């Protein structure tokens, strides 16, 4: 029994050492719980870090947890945030539908929930979220459409490599198509297949597209990994001069690829702005101001010129 107590004490000491409570400053106001899909993804890690720095300015400590792509784990993390009486929860749902239960729990306990990047689509929980802060994927898709018309001279056949499992990707493709339609484009979309948002599947599906439609002049891939997979397929088929790729995200790898002229454009998302915007929405909430239900962060073009003078490309950052 003595030993058990000793072990428990050791655990306590370890926890104390790790616990951020020791270094509390005088302007300490409270805690914000952040739970996101996957903290091993640099995109989300960056957002969490920026939130931490931004919230610290107002005296809030951010505790960022990773749901490791498990919706049940995320649900548990929400329960813990609620039990501890955190001042707010910033939620990046693993699954738009199943995140609803956690949101309801938080709402009943009076903890305001803000979603970022991905929103909650559960009908019963949607309206309980204070505000959603995310990229305007539809508008980003329009930018991609604009670039596609420009680079192809608005002539020829094109293909889309999508990812119909993800809402963000659906919106990008929708914006892309609507832009072409609105501007009476002569471009013809001959095929639209799923590259599952990753490099390997992007490569495989692009290879198949080149077999079926060797005449195409452009490909819109809904994110950088599938765009870069497509590029590998073009290299293999020796078609890099004939076909232009437009990707999406301007991730570190995408920025470099634009700089190396592998991609023509990669409409840029702003994870930093998203993080700052979420914290600002919370502060406005505390001020008692009315906050819009959705706050969109606009995407911008990312061309060769942008890449050439972009220090974040050299630093390999978002």
Partner 1 sequence: MMRKAMSDYGMVFVLLGLCLVFSLLTIKEQVPGNDTAVSELMTRIRSDFKQDDVILVVGAARKDSEQFAGKMGEELKRQGFKNTRVVVGIPSDLRAALDEIKGAGAKPAALIAGPDVMKWRVIDHIQANYPEFSGCRILTPKTWLWPDFLKASNLLAIVDRIVVIAVIAIGMTMVIIAGGIDLSVGSLIALSAVIGTLVMKKLGGLDAPAWVVPIGFMAGIAACGIVGGLGGWIVARFNVAPFITTLAIMMVGRGLAFMITGGFSIYQVPKALPWLGQGRSLEAPNTVILVLVLYAIAHVFMSHTRMGRYIYAVGGNKEAARLSGVPVFFVTVFVYIVSSLAAGLGGCIQASQINTGTPNMGMMYELYVIAAVVVGGTSLSGGSGKMLGTLIGAFIISVIQNGMNLVGIESYTQQVVLGAVILGAVLLDKARNSGGISALLWRKR
Judged by the rule CB under 8 A, the positions of this chain that interact with partner 1 are: 1, 3-5, 7-12, 14-16, 18-21, 29-31, 39, 61, 63-66, 68-72, 75-77, 79-85, 87, 94-95, 97-98, 100-102, 109-112, 122, 165, 283, 285-290
Which of 65/143 has CB closer to partner 1? 65
Distance in angstroms (rounded) separating the CA atoms of residues 90 and 81? 10
User: CB 215: neighbour CB atoms within 10 A?
Assistant: 10
- Name the DSSP letter for residue 110: T
Shortest distance in whole angstroms from residue 112 CB to partner 1: 7
Shortest distance in whole angstroms from residue 68 CB to partner 1: 7
Which of 64/193 has CB closer to partner 1? 64
Which of 35/152 has CB closer to partner 1? 35
Shortest distance in whole angstroms from residue 56 CB to partner 1: 14
Shortest distance in whole angstroms from residue 2 CB to partner 1: 9
Which of 23/184 has CB closer to partner 1? 23
Shortest distance in whole angstroms from residue 14 CB to partner 1: 6
Picking from 223, 219, 225, the residue whose alpha carbon sits closest to that of residue 248 is 223
Is the Cβ–Cβ distance between 163 and 197 less than 8 Å?
yes
Is the Cβ–Cβ distance between 307 and 313 less than 8 Å?
yes
SS3 of 63-105: the string is: EEEECCCCHHHHHHHHHHHHHCCCCEEEECCCCCCCCHHHHHH
Which of 34/149 has CB closer to partner 1? 34
Which of 165/260 has CB closer to partner 1? 165
228: tokens are: 């870069």
Based on the number of CB atoms within 10 Å of its own CB, is 289 exposed (0-12), middle (13-18) or buried (19 or more)? exposed
Which of 109/315 has CB closer to partner 1? 109
Which of 14/304 has CB closer to partner 1? 14
Picking from 209, 200, 207, 203, the residue whose alpha carbon sits closest to that of residue 160 is 209
Distance in angstroms (rounded) separating the CA atoms of residues 225 and 257? 11
Distance in angstroms (rounded) separating the CA atoms of residues 62 and 28? 12
Shortest distance in whole angstroms from residue 161 CB to partner 1: 17
Three-state secondary structure call for residue 191: strand
Q: Which residues of 71-110 are buried (b: 16+ CB within 10 A; e: fewer)?
A: beebbebbeebbeeebbbbbbbbbbbeebbbbbbbbbeee
Residues facing residue 308 across a β-bridge? none
Distance in angstroms (rounded) separating the CA atoms of residues 146 and 307? 19
Shortest distance in whole angstroms from residue 262 CB to partner 1: 29
Shortest distance in whole angstroms from residue 71 CB to partner 1: 5
């Amino acid at each position: 029994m003595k030993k058990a107590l000793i072990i428990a004490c050791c655990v306590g000491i370890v926890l104390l050492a790790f616990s951020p409570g020791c270094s509390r400053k005088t302007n300490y106001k409270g805690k914000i719980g952040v739970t996101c899909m996957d903290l091993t993804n640099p995109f989300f890690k960056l957002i969490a870090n920026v939130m931490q720095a931004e919230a610290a300015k107002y005296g809030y400590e951010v505790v960022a947890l990773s749901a490791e792509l498990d919706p049940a784990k995320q649900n548990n993390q929400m329960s813990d945030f609620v039990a501890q009486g955190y001042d707010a929860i910033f939620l990046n749902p693993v699954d738009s539908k199943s995140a609803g239960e956690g949101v309801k729990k938080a709402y009943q306990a009076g903890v305001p929930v803000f979603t970022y990047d991905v929103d909650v689509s559960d009908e019963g929980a949607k309206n309980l979220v204070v505000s959603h802060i995310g990229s305007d994927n539809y508008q980003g898709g329009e930018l991609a459409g604009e670039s596609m018309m420009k680079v192809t001279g608005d002539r020829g056949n094109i293909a889309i490599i999508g990812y119909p499992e993800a809402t963000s990707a659906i919106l990008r493709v929708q914006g892309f198509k609507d832009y072409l339609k609105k501007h009476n484009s002569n471009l013809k979309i001959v095929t639209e297949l799923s590259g599952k948002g990753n490099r390997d599947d992007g490569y495989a599906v692009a290879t198949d597209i080149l077999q079926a439609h060797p005449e195409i002049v452009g490909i819109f891939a809904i994110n950088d990994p599938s765009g870069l997979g497509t590029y590998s397929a073009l290299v293999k088929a020796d078609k890099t001069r004939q076909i232009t790729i437009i990707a999406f995200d301007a991730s570190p790898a995408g920025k470099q690829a634009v700089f190396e002229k592998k991609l023509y454009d990669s409409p840029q998302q702003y994870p930093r702005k998203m993080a700052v915007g979420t914290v600002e929405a919370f502060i406005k909430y505390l001020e008692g101001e009315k906050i819009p239900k959705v706050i969109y962060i606009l995407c911008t073009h990312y061309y060769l010129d942008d890449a050439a003078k972009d220090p974040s490309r050299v630093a390999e950052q978002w």
